[in-house]
Amino acid sequence: MFTTNEGTIDRTLRVVFGAALIAGYFLNSDGAYSWLYWLGVIPLLTGAAGWCPLYTVFGIKTCRTKS
């Protein structure tokens, strides 16, 4: 369906960052802007899928290409 455009390091960082933001919500759920932590779903899903729509728009690939 979609071609992978994220490399291993990029995917790992996205998943860790997304999970950290979501965990931040549970650690500080009564904060004024606690809903912002749920934005961590975006990097979590793109890291898990290995495909970023913005990378496609800008023509960026961080994964290795087969030669």
**Predicted confidence (pLDDT) per residue in 2-25, tens digit:** 889 999 999 999 999 999 999 999
pLDDT at 1: 67
pLDDT at 20: 95
Among candidates 52, 57, 65, 58, which has minimal Cα distance to 6? 52
What pLDDT, in 10s, does the model give residues 36-65?
999 999 999 999 999 999 999 999 999 987
pLDDT at 21: 93
Whole-structure pTM value: 0.86
What is each CA distance from 44 to 13, 21, 55, 66, in whole angstroms? 9, 9, 15, 26
Q: Is the distance from CB of 2 to CB of 49 less than 8 angstroms?
A: yes
Mean pLDDT score across all residues of the chain: 91
